[in-house]
Amino acid sequence: MTRTHEAGAMHGDYASLRPAWLGVPEDVNAILPQLWSQNVERAAGVLHIGGLSVEKLAAEFGTPAYVFDEDDFRARCRAWTEAFAGADVFYASKAFCSKAVLRAAAEEGLSVDVCTAGELAVALAAGVDPARLGLHGNNKSLAELHQAVEIGIGRIVVDSFQEIERIEAISQELGRRANVMVRVNVGVEAHTHEYIATAHEDQKFGFSLTGGDAYEAARRVVHAGHLNLLGLHSHIGSQIFDTAAFEVSAARVARLQAQLQTDLGITLEELDLGGGFGMAYTTQDDPQPPEVIAASLRRIVEHECAGAGIDVPRLSIEPGRSLIGPAMFTLYEVGTVKPVTLSGGASRLYVSVDGGISDNIRTALYDATYSATLASRSSSATPALARVVGKHCESGDIVVKDEFLPADVAPGDLLAVPGTGAYCRSMGSNYNHVPRPPVVAVRDGQARVILARETVDDLLRLDVG
Ligand code: LLP
């Protein structure tokens, strides 16, 4: 174990460059359990998952690759369903969508939330029962709505007055009744990045609570001939740690649900409180365990229902990130290492890997923070303030903005970035015609490809000239 102190003379005054939250590690080789999936460890210097070394995985499957700890994902699914026993846990497939993952979620007792025909197709191909699917989206196409009603989807979460009319017309035409929830914008300002906060007033999702639209939408659904109102839905944003934000939103939506029951003389069986529960990307993140979240949400909903004198509805939630995010890491190979000395003498080590913004756009898009470790060996070199960058042609192509890596990190080393299961592959692109990496699942010590590596031929196939 290497001990170091802040004034690492070898690399200049990096104290002035590193963010306040990033301490100089006592052991630059340490694998902090809160940042990694549960079956990852460093053994004989090398990172292992489920007993398989990353060197073996890289040799067999190539780099970059997303490495998926399936046992960890399944354990998280169970932890959430146990904490929310008596409620429905929907896996939000937008976080990561593949047949193997949706099948695993369903096998662990989860329902699945989809928001496009593409995600729906994967869920159906995975064999998920349509009755256990929820369909989201602020602009679902007529074809998507038609298919949803036709297959008897469990619920459609409506997001506009036009959509209520469309689903009613389709249901009438097909001679079906559609189960519907009304998405309410509860007006809670969650403390997260603006682009992933969804319940402040000035944005596109849901019916406004304060303006009365949510009440009116629910009233119209109740009076439509072919719609069945299950209850209300709210989702306040993503990567939220503040349970108070969830509590305020749950209280508001439960209160409206109670008011609708009393005014319209109906019983609404369900209440969906959405997803958005935060996960740990770096040591600054401290997520609440599911049982704490479950207890606080239950308490609030029970309190509101008792006050209104109505029965407590069946709850549902829709976590995506907190289930899949921590269950994957991205394995890269280092191509170049470049110390960059800035005016003032401070120095930063630019470590270029064989992927980048095409496999993880979150750093560039949301200023997201990640961590990284040298995976193919341990090192006794001094920690150096590093920036992990990709191979794309722009300077914003940053994977990990600030991390301490051993100063001897070198071309050919493998580097692993944990916490990349959510919104990395699913938001991946082919920028610069870089094919997207495969997803390699490890379960019971066995590795298999669940999403194949894209090839340049795949891209050329679409280029019809
Ligand atoms: N339910 C609804 C209605 C949602 O819109 C979302 C996410 C979720 C559940 C799941 O949220 P989660 O538990 O995964 O936070 N691309 C952004 C995140 C966008 C989230 C969109 N909706 C990111 O990379 O941070």
Query: Which H, E and C letters describe 131-176, residue by residue?
Result: HHEEECCCCCCHHHHHHHHHCCCCEEEECCHHHHHHHHHHHHHHCC
* 333 CB near ligand 1 (under 6 Å): no
Cα distances (angstroms) measured from residue 422 to each of 95, 359, 360: 5, 11, 10
pLDDT of residue 193: 65
Q: What is the DSSP string of 359-415?
A: T--HHHHH------EE-S----SPEEEEEEE-SSSSTT-EEEEEEEEETT--TT-EE
Question: Which residue in 26, 22, 21 sits closest to 5, CA to CA?
Answer: 26
How many angstroms separate the first and last alpha carbons of the chain?
57
How many angstroms does the Cα of residue 464 sit away from the middle of ligand 1? 34
Interval 305-339: pLDDT, tens: 999 889 999 999 999 999 999 999 999 999 999 99
Q: Whose alpha carbon is nearest atom 5 of ligand 1?
A: 235
pLDDT one digit per residue (tens) for the chain, 465 residues: 333 333 343 445 566 789 999 999 999 999 999 999 999 999 999 999 999 999 999 999 999 999 999 999 999 999 999 999 999 999 999 999 999 999 999 999 999 999 999 999 999 999 999 999 999 999 999 999 999 999 999 999 999 999 999 999 999 999 999 999 999 999 887 766 666 666 677 889 999 998 899 999 999 999 999 999 999 999 999 999 988 888 889 999 999 999 999 999 999 999 999 999 999 999 999 999 999 999 999 999 999 999 988 999 999 999 999 999 999 999 999 999 999 998 888 899 999 999 999 999 999 999 999 999 999 999 999 999 999 999 999 999 999 999 999 999 999 999 999 999 999 999 999 999 999 999 999 999 999 999 999 999 999 999 999
Cβ atoms of 368 and 35 within 8 Å: the answer is no
Cβ atoms of 57 and 331 within 8 Å: the answer is yes
How many whole angstroms from its chain centre is CA 113?
13
**Homologous superfamily of 136-319:** Alanine racemase (3.20.20.10)
Q: Which residues of 296-308 are buried (b: 16+ CB within 10 A; e: fewer)?
A: bbbebbeebbeee
- What counts of helices (H) and strands (E) characterise the chain? 12, 21
Helix (H, G, I), strand (E, B) or coil at 202: coil
* 235 CB near ligand 1 (under 6 Å): yes
Q: Whose alpha carbon is nearest atom 8 of ligand 1?
A: 275
For 221, the token pair is 């659904």
pLDDT of residue 10: 44
**Where in the chain are all domains bearing CATH 3.20.20.10?**
136-319
Q: Which residues of 4-16 are buried (b: 16+ CB within 10 A; e: fewer)?
A: beeebeebbbbee
pLDDT of residue 4: 38
- Could you give the residue numbers annotated as active site? 393
171/145 Cα distance (integer angstroms) = 9
Cβ atoms of 113 and 156 within 8 Å: the answer is no
pTM for the whole structure: 0.95
**Where in the chain are all domains bearing CATH 2.40.37.10?**
22-68+326-462
pLDDT of residue 202: 80
Please give the CATH number for the structural domain made up of 22-68+326-462.
Answer: 2.40.37.10
Kindly give the number of the ligand 1 atom that is closest to the alpha carbon of 95.
14
Strand partners, 314: 270
Question: Radius of gyration of the chain from Cα atoms?
Answer: 24
Cβ atoms of 126 and 118 within 8 Å: the answer is no
* 192 CB near ligand 1 (under 6 Å): no
283/28 Cα distance (integer angstroms) = 14
Which residues lie closer than 8 Å to 183 by C-beta, 6 or more apart? 136, 157, 158, 159, 205, 206, 207, 232, 233, 234, 235
User: Probe ligand 1: pick from 90, 193, 318, 426, max atoms within 8 Å of CB?
Assistant: 318
pLDDT of residue 194: 65
Interval 81-138: pLDDT, tens: 999 999 999 999 999 999 999 999 999 999 999 999 999 999 999 999 999 999 999 9
* 370 CB near ligand 1 (under 6 Å): no
